[in-house]
């Protein structure tokens, strides 16, 4: 199977070729005369909006019961919604490296959040620059090395902060007053307005920090989600029977690993007043940093006014066990959703700017996240696993006249596909060694044969949240996973009968054929991309030294 993006463009994409031919013909008719500007094929702009840890479960276009996201939803009603969009490695820096290279982690050198991105390799933005695009990167970068291939960049150092964050640009580091999501949008709009060479089409990466942990809310409406109890997922109190050790041993349970101070914003004084000792978290690293180092007095007062009564009430109620888990889930969701409200509002602001400047319909807009996230499913927060909530990521794409408005796609697509898709939209060549392929064949119709299996490989173990190394594949119906260190366990899920992945059928004799077929397909898929169990062992050796030093 050819996997490198040589499929035919659907009919509407032929416009680009026609435009080029028309321009050439105009030159031939008037030898020596330069083609008039309005005869040049006009290539669309591209904006890729990436949030950090935004679960599809918290987007109303995906049926969320937690929040309305009208501006994000607009991209779905006027464009495509991909329901089977997956990442290759569900963690931040690796996902970003995949976006920039069109390659899985084993091939682009960035397997975990500790590796440093080699910006001298071929990148999407570099190729777009070479193809005549003006390129910009604003917001969360998280690749450690300095951005390359951008005409303009202004990024958060490392994870970034929510209030009055530092930014780094070619001019060095500075602190900017305000809330991070508003500031990133201000910077993006300022560049669109006055910062770029308006003669060229542009590629803008507009990348939010929100809704990343620890979910510090915007201060204009921090308690918007406090009014009603938020619906709990069915598996909030999961006991992990039916799966292997990896799920049981992961350290990302709301009950045991979500910190009462850093995550749930209980003050150290409140915590000291409890007559038992639930897990408090990293007060010094996180809570104190926000409160004492970054926030100003007015911001601190605004937040204390909301959190103070909640925290007093919490101490008085003295919750334990499942009641405590439920309370923590509510507090988690209240702050998580508030950060998303701000993302949605700011996307509205960006869309308005594009609209009032006549750029909206000539701009291809993608909305995605660097991965999915657990909103209490399986009792968890965080990501990393190949289970659906973190393997899947939201993906919406608006391009009027070129993609079906309101279309839903079930084809298996992955974040390796961004680079080839964007390059093809720009009329630029797609390098042969990119793993992904252009989504163009899906612009007007769905095609479940687009890809036989989505591939996954997670490497950051030992590490925070203790999710074991694993690789696997997912077809339209089944998922096969191999956890290979410090354990040797396989899991197989039938997503048709068990969409929530509560029971592995790997050892079930009635699935023996499926198991055999999926095992053979996994070997094919690994060979296709140049990954293998042997390579996994080599990386393990290399990574162990670095990861255990963290
Ligand atoms: C931080 C978070 C983790 C999270 C990683 C990676 N802890 O370390 O919960 O998994 O980032 O996130 S925190 O207490 O510092 O918030 S990623 O999105 O960058 O991959
Ligand atoms: Ca992330």
Domain ranges of the chain: 1-40, 41-214+359-450, 224-335, 456-549
Residue nearest atom 12 of ligand 1, based on CA coordinates: 92
Residue nearest atom 8 of ligand 1, based on CA coordinates: 464
Average pLDDT, stretch 24-35?
38
Distance from the Cα of residue 197 to its chain's centroid = 29
Nearest ligand (C-alpha, residue 94):
1
Better-scored residue on pLDDT, 42 or 210: 210
Q: What is the atom index within ligand 1 of the atom nearest the CA of 214? A: 16
Q: Is a pLDDT exceeding 80 seen at residue 28? A: no
* Region for 99 from its dihedrals, namely left if φ exceeds 0, alpha if ψ lies in -120 to 50, beta otherwise: alpha
Judge contact between 223 and 309, C-beta under 8 A: no
Angle at 8 between CA 7 and CA 12, to 5 degrees: 135
Judge contact between 486 and 536, C-beta under 8 A: no
How high is the pLDDT of residue 279? 84
Task: Tell me how far CA of residue 354 lies from CA of 152, 155, 201, 397, 398, in angstroms.
Answer: 19, 22, 13, 15, 13
Q: Which of 25-39, 155-169, 267-281, 324-338 has the lowest mean pLDDT?
A: 25-39
pLDDT classification of 292: cutoffs 50, 70, 90: confident
383 CA → ligand 1 middle, Å: 10
Q: Mention every residue, 6+ apart, whose C-beta is less than 8 A from residue 431.
A: 102, 122, 127
* Region for 490 from its dihedrals, namely left if φ exceeds 0, alpha if ψ lies in -120 to 50, beta otherwise: beta
Judge contact between 94 and 413, C-beta under 8 A: no
522 CA → ligand 1 middle, Å: 30
Distance from the Cα of residue 410 to its chain's centroid = 19
Which of 159, 286, 380, 382 for a ligand 1 pocket mutation test, highest count of atoms within 8 Å of Cβ? 159
How high is the pLDDT of residue 545? 87
DSSP string, 63-89: T-SS---HHHHHHHHTSEEESSEE-SS
Angle at 102 between CA 181 and CA 427, to 5 degrees: 95
Average pLDDT, stretch 270-275?
87
Tokens of 223: 């308690």
Residue nearest atom 19 of ligand 1, based on CA coordinates: 92
Q: Is a pLDDT exceeding 60 seen at residue 18? A: no
What is the pTM (predicted TM-score) of this model?
Answer: 0.93
H or E, element range at 247: helix 245-249
Average pLDDT, stretch 321-330?
97
Which of 464, 467, 547 for a ligand 1 pocket mutation test, highest count of atoms within 8 Å of Cβ? 464
| Pocket lined around ligand 1, Cβ cut-off 6 Å | 52-53, 91-92, 113, 159, 212-214, 262, 282, 286, 382, 464-465
Tokens of 127: 């190729």
52 CA → ligand 2 middle, Å: 4
Tokens of 295: 């926030």
Mean pLDDT of the chain: 92
213 CA → ligand 1 middle, Å: 6
160 CA → ligand 2 middle, Å: 12
Average pLDDT, stretch 315-338?
97
Q: What is the atom index within ligand 1 of the atom nearest the CA of 113? A: 20
Residues 428 and 131: their CA atoms lie apart, in Å, by 6
Residues 231 and 549: their CA atoms lie apart, in Å, by 40
CATH: 3.30.1120.10, 3.10.180.10, 3.60.21.10, 3.90.226.30. Which one for 456-549?
3.30.1120.10
Average pLDDT, stretch 371-379?
98
Residues 483 and 396: their CA atoms lie apart, in Å, by 31
Say how many C-beta atoms besides its own lie within 10 A of residue 21's C-beta.
12
322 CA → ligand 1 middle, Å: 25
Which of 50, 213, 259 for a ligand 1 pocket mutation test, highest count of atoms within 8 Å of Cβ? 213
How high is the pLDDT of residue 550? 65
Q: What is the atom index within ligand 1 of the atom nearest the CA of 212? A: 18
94 CA → ligand 1 middle, Å: 13
Nearest ligand (C-alpha, residue 373):
2
Residues 449 and 201: their CA atoms lie apart, in Å, by 33
Average pLDDT, stretch 279-285?
76
Tokens of 391: 């393997």
DSSP state at residue 317: H
Measured in degrees and rounded to the nearest 5, phi and psi for residue 202 equal -125, 155
pLDDT classification of 508: cutoffs 50, 70, 90: very high
pLDDT classification of 549: cutoffs 50, 70, 90: confident
113 CA → ligand 1 middle, Å: 9
pLDDT classification of 84: cutoffs 50, 70, 90: very high
Q: Is a pLDDT exceeding 50 seen at residue 29? A: no
Better-scored residue on pLDDT, 348 or 8: 348
Which of 53, 110, 113 for a ligand 1 pocket mutation test, highest count of atoms within 8 Å of Cβ? 113
Average pLDDT, stretch 139-147?
97
Nearest ligand (C-alpha, residue 54):
2
Nearest ligand (C-alpha, residue 160):
1
Nearest ligand (C-alpha, residue 50):
2
Q: Mention every residue, 6+ apart, whose C-beta is less than 8 A from residue 385.
A: 90, 246, 247, 250, 391, 458, 467, 470
Say how many C-beta atoms besides its own lie within 10 A of residue 320's C-beta.
10
Above pLDDT 90, what percent of the chain?
86
Residue nearest atom 20 of ligand 1, based on CA coordinates: 92
31 CA → ligand 2 middle, Å: 54
449 CA → ligand 2 middle, Å: 29
Residue nearest atom 7 of ligand 1, based on CA coordinates: 213
Q: Is a pLDDT exceeding 60 seen at residue 339? A: yes
Residue nearest atom 10 of ligand 1, based on CA coordinates: 382
384 CA → ligand 2 middle, Å: 9
144 CA → ligand 2 middle, Å: 15
Q: Which of 107, 224, 184 is nearest to 526 (CA)?
A: 107
Say how many C-beta atoms besides its own lie within 10 A of residue 318's C-beta.
12
Query: According to CATH, what is the number of the domain 41-214+359-450?
Result: 3.40.720.10
pLDDT in tens, 102-128: 999 999 999 999 999 999 999 999 999
Q: Is a pLDDT exceeding 50 seen at residue 2? A: no
DSSP state at residue 12: G
How high is the pLDDT of residue 280? 83
Which of 95, 212, 286, 461 for a ligand 1 pocket mutation test, highest count of atoms within 8 Å of Cβ? 212
Residues 499 and 477: their CA atoms lie apart, in Å, by 9
SS3 of the chain: helix, strand, coil, percent, to 5: 40, 15, 45
């Amino acid at each position: 199977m050819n996997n490198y993006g040589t499929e035919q463009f659907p009919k509407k994409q032929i416009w680009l070729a026609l435009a080029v031919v028309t321009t050439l013909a105009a030159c031939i008719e008037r030898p020596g005369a330069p083609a008039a500007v309005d005869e040049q094929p006009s290539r669309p702009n591209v904006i890729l909006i990436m949030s950090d840890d935004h679960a599809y479960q918290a987007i109303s276009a995906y049926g969320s019961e937690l929040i309305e996201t009208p501006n994000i939803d607009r991209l779905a009603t006027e464009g495509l919604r991909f329901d089977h969009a997956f990442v290759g490695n569900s963690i931040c820096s690796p996902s970003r490296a995949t976006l920039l290279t069109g390659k899985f982690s084993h091939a682009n050198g960035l397997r975990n959040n500790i590796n440093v991105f080699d910006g001298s390799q071929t990148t999407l933005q570099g190729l777009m620059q070479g193809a005549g695009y003006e390129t910009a990167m604003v917001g969360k970068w998280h690749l450690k090395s300095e951005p390359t291939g951008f005409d303009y960049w202004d990024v958060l150092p490392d994870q970034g902060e929510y209030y009055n964050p530092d930014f780094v640009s070619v001019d060095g580091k500075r602190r900017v007053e305000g809330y991070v999501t508003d500031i990133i949008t201000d910077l993006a709009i300022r560049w669109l307005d006055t910062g770029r060479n308006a003669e060229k089409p542009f590629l803008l990466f507009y990348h939010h920090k929100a809704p990343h942990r620890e979910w510090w809310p915007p201060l204009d409406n921090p308690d918007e989600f406090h009014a009603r109890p938020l619906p709990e997922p069915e598996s909030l109190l999961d006991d992990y029977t039916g799966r292997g050790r990896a799920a049981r041993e992961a350290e990302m349970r709301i009950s045991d690993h979500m910190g009462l101070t850093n995550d749930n914003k209980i003050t150290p004084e409140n915590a000291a007043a409890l007559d038992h000792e639930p897990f408090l978290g990293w007060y010094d690293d996180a809570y104190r940093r926000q409160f004492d180092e970054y926030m100003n007095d007015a911001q601190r007062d605004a937040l204390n006014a909301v959190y103070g009564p909640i925290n007093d009430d919490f101490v008085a109620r003295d919750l334990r066990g499942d009641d405590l888990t439920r309370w923590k889930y509510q507090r988690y969701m209240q702050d998580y959703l508030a950060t998303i409200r701000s993302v949605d509002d700011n996307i509205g602001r960006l869309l308005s700017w594009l609209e009032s400047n006549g750029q909206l319909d000539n701009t291809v807009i993608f909305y995605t996240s660097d991965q999915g996230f657990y909103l209490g499913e399986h009792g968890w927060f965080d990501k990393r696993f190949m289970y659906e909530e973190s393997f899947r990521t939201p993906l919406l794409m608006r391009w009027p006249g070129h993609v079906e408005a309101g279309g839903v796609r079930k084809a298996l697509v992955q974040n390796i596909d961004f680079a080839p898709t964007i390059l093809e939209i720009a009329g630029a060549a797609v390098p042969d060694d990119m793993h992904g392929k252009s989504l163009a064949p899906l612009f007007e119709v769905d095609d479940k044969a687009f890809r036989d299996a989505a591939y996954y490989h997670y490497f950051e173990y030992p590490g925070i949240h203790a999710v074991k190394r694993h690789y696997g594949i997912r077809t339209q119906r089944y998922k096969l996973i191999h956890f290979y260190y410090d354990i040797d366990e396989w899991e197989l899920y039938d997503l048709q009968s068990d969409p929530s992945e509560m029971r592995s059928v790997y050892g079930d004799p009635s699935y023996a054929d499926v198991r055999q077929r999926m095992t053979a397909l996994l070997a094919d898929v690994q060979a296709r991309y140049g990954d293998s169990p042997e390579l996994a062992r080599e990386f393990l050796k290399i990574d162990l030294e670095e990861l255990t030093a963290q």
